[in-house]
Amino acid sequence: MEQQLAQGDAQAAGASAAQLRQELVRMEPAAPDHSQAWLLWSAALCTLAAAFGYLYVAVLRPFDKLKDFASRLAQGDFDVPLRYQRANYFGDFTWAFDNMRREITKARSGEREAIENNKTVIATLSHDIKTPVSSIRAYAEGLEANMDTTPERRSRYLSVIMRKCDQVSQLTDDLFLHALSDLERLKIRRERLELSSLVGQAAEELSGQEEVICQKAASPMYVMGDPERITQILENLINNARKYAKPPILISLDQQAGMAQLHVWDRGGGIPDADMPFVFEKFYRGKNCGTAQGSGLGLYIVRYLTEKMGGRVLLHNHPEGLEALVQLPLLRQQCSEHA
């Protein structure tokens, strides 16, 4: 009996000890889980690295490219394009910079072309001016040496000198017009004038020794225009006819559909069909110009002045020669009278 009681006490003591150990285990603090913390820190660092990488690729690197691009532009290098992606956050901004480069390149190219054109026309006009000046000098030296032994010869010498002076004056007018960087600065007066009498007077002054026949209009024709510019238009057309055709040069006036029409006819070979679309362009000289001197400005000036006065100019080839037609609007009162 005592032995059984002793065994029971031992079992009870063992159970109490086991229960006590369990209570002690529960009371001990849990060991920290360092692996989870490392995972969190690693994820945070990767996120920051990705964010900085995106900022560099999307923001910092494009700005570095823009800085280098701006430096090249400042040094005058406009040939290397700025590569960009429109899908990028700064794509439109970068595109705008490269578009600026293209526009600057285009403007510089146009400026260089204008400079070359200026050099060409100045060289051409300088050459054209030398020729009549040389003639003036030669005839003046003849007068000085008393080579004008007869009144007729003296009169011819003086006539040639005056005509060559007129040519120089015309060439300097062309040079002046070309020197205007903006033709809008060219002043053109608009006043009421009678075209028939103005053309008749100008034709008489320009006839010289060449035969210029002016047929007066059947009735007065009133237009709004600049008398000096209309005279200049007629001068250019007559000089153009003299270069490429033999006399006579015929001038006539009529009216049609509310327009006063000035015709200048010559008996030359006309203008080749291949040249016709380009003859009014600045500096253009046709294939048939041969050795005829000129700057390629005459018809350009004619069209510009005519259009500024509300008219237009046309050229027509005929079997007997070339017809230059200048049309200017008649005054409304006269249009109603002839309606």
pLDDT, tens digit, 9 for 90 and up, residues 166-222: 878 877 776 776 665 555 556 788 999 999 999 988 887 776 556 788 888 888 999
Residue at a domain's end among 134, 161, 179 = 179
52 occurs within a structural domain? no
199 and 331 housed in the same domain = yes
**CA 192 distance to own-chain centroid:** 34
Evaluate if residue 101 carries a pLDDT over 90.
no
On the question of pLDDT at 247 being above 60, the answer is yes
Q: Kindly state whether residue 285 falls inside one of the protein's structural domains.
A: yes
- State whether 151 and 239 are in the same domain: no
User: What are the two backbone dihedrals, phi and then psi, of residue 30, each rounded to the nearest 5 degrees?
Assistant: -75, 140
The strand pair at 249-256 and 212-215 is best described as parallel
**Residue of higher predicted confidence among 130 and 31:** 130
Number of CB atoms found within 10 A of residue 295's CB: 24
**What is the mean predicted confidence (pLDDT) over 56-75?**
70
Residue 175 lies in a domain: yes
Q: What pLDDT does 232 receive? A: 86
Q: Is residue 160 in some structural domain?
A: yes
Q: Is residue 208 located within the same domain as residue 118?
A: no
Do 238 and 268 meet the contact criterion of CB atoms below 8 Å apart? no
Say yes or no to pLDDT of 36 above 80: no
**Other Cβ atoms closer than 10 A to 159:** 13
Give the DSSP H or E segment for 214: strand 212-215
Highest mean pLDDT among 88-92, 275-279, 287-291: 275-279
Task: State the alpha helices, DSSP H only, in 79-150.
Answer: 91-144
| Helix, strand, coil % over all residues of the chain, rounded to 5 | 60, 15, 25
DSSP of 27-61: HSPPPP-HHHHHHHHHHHHHHHHHHHHHHIIIIIH
Tell me how far apart the alpha carbons of residues 127 and 135 are, in angstroms, rounded to a whole number. Answer: 13
- Final residue of a domain: which of 144, 179, 214? 179
Residue 5 has pLDDT above 50, yes or no: no
User: What does the mean pLDDT of the chain come to?
Assistant: 77
In a shared domain, residues 274 and 302: yes
> What pLDDT score does 22 carry?
64
Residue 306, pLDDT score: 94
CATH assignment at residue 248: 3.30.565.10
Q: What's the angle, vertex CA 242, arms to CA 240 and CA 223, rounded to 5?
A: 55
- The mean per-residue pLDDT over the stretch 137-152 comes to 81
In terms of domains, do 201 and 319 share one? yes
Same domain, 219 and 283: yes
Show the domain range for 197: 189-337
Q: Is 231 helix (H, G, I), strand (E, B) or coil?
A: helix
Count structural domains, the chain. Answer: 2
The single-letter code of the amino acid at 122 is I
Give the pLDDT of residue 262. 96
Q: Which stretch of 37-51, 123-137, 306-320 has the lowest confidence by average pLDDT?
A: 123-137
Q: Is 49 within the bounds of a domain?
A: no
Backbone phi, psi, residue 240, to 5°: -65, -40
**339 vs 167, which has greater pLDDT?**
167
Q: Is residue 328 part of a domain?
A: yes
Distance CA 203, CA 65 (A): 67
Q: Do 213 and 157 fall within a single domain?
A: no
User: Using CA atoms, how far apart are residues 257 and 110, in angstroms rounded to an integer?
Assistant: 41
The reply to whether omega before 248 is within 30° of 0 (cis) is: yes
Q: Does 87 lie in the same domain as 144? A: yes
Instruction: Based on the fold, state whether residues 109 and 152 are members of the same structural domain.
Output: yes
pLDDT of residue 144 exceeding 50, the answer is: yes
Select from 179, 209, 243 the last residue of a domain.
179
Shared domain check, 215 and 141 = no
Claim to verify: residue 195 and residue 174 sit in the same structural domain:
no
Can you spell out the DSSP letters for 270-292? ---TTTGGGTTSTT---GGGTT-
CB 72 within 8 A of CB 103: no
Question: Position of tokens 């009216």?
Answer: 255
Residues 149 and 230 in one domain: no
For position 315, what pLDDT does the model report?
94
